[in-house]
Chain A
């Protein structure tokens, strides 16, 4: 019952993978640790024992094993009850797109357990599904590139209005630019192997990519946001290098999208500014903090800490700083040493105390 005796807020974070395609959980924990040091208890919720974040004693106090994201909701809720009984959680920050719909559906049940979350409604979560986004945008006079489910990679591009190059995406993650039928068939298979069906094709918008990460208050009013321009992409389309910009046009476009999304909580808007028209296209909405959010304390604006303040009902700063334009990040890998006995403890007990 750590939280009741220490009065430290207890915040649970998911998404603890930190290998070549890192999930946001480690970055969120880093930002919270930067803001609060030891004055917060950070719990990691890990769906696999070998996620690298499980052994990050610089970030987490305790790590608990949880069911896989695709497991039945009842299994997850049962495990969260067990964890919450042992270590009452004040706030849960989901960090994976795949789990958000489930957490949104069970928000009240979790709140009854004392676990608060700042997340959107189930309907808002659904609206940002990749295949729904173009229709949703068109209905509101906004722009989002055509996106369709590829039912058969051999015949899909024979349709009249589809051509190469275009993007192939998994429904949850990854995006690959494909330039030919042959390449598309290989990439589609790779996406299915990694993420399962469906595979989505998205028309290419030629331009520059901007991402906006925001924390949105209940009611849809953005509390604060950071705009970056991606400068280096991984093979899977992830930003591994970017720079913070102060671009009023990009911010105005982001606010326009946000005003229609009816959002609550953290999110990342991925937008393309089309070279030919200067128009902003909404490419994706990620329903969580991005993996690059760990850099935000260095910009002077710590979004995960603001989210915790919002979620716990703490005082918000009277003025919220603007992020410093020109702050850039380049992703680096970090090799974590550990003891195999820690892995044994985690496997045997479903729990690993990192602050002994």
Chain B
């Protein structure tokens, strides 16, 4: 590698730090806002959660760029409003978790099939690649184009405002990606182990469950991660298909507008509650995200 000049090093690092700042500042702002008193928010920006010793008997809320932190808002959401917060959080968890499970299961089965068997749909003249392409093309179908039939359909089946409804919808949306990634992954797995297991008398299904699945953990984790994040963040269908009971976090958050205008301190705290789990999962499984993106685009 050529040695960089001092000047370009300074440029390089200052750009990196600038962008890191742009990425991180909104998080800092949300965290601090969730500890600010309403007055401290409405008076204009204050940055640092600390208020120096001021001789006054009733210390002010803000002092220049400093403010006096409070945990009231967190207390409100986690203690006073606990039932609501927990319920919507749980709804999100159920919808995302269960749909993620089904997407992984059904997706890896189809992926395995497409990787190991030879299909031919005579009527359409489709072979494996055509089928796979058809499946992935479903991923780019805008959900808004099918949301009305879902609404009517679910209404008839009494699935509006239920976990089952959301789970079903999210499984459908995550399936194409799951099939695509898993097929790709199985293609890269050597077939020898499966063949020897088959020689020892294992059925296809046993081979799949006992040999193939344990070997494909990285692929499964990638698919699970993407499916979970998608379902956790999804808004349009959750908005359309739920009313009161099965509302998920994004819908709850987006609907939280009171007559007093937006109460930024509650919003911030609630937002943090919503994004933290996904961010933690994402941080720990970072390399799978990169792998999933690469598989989706490089091979796509």
A binds B: no
* A residues whose Cβ falls under 8 Å from a Cβ of B: none
* B residues whose Cβ falls under 8 Å from a Cβ of A: none
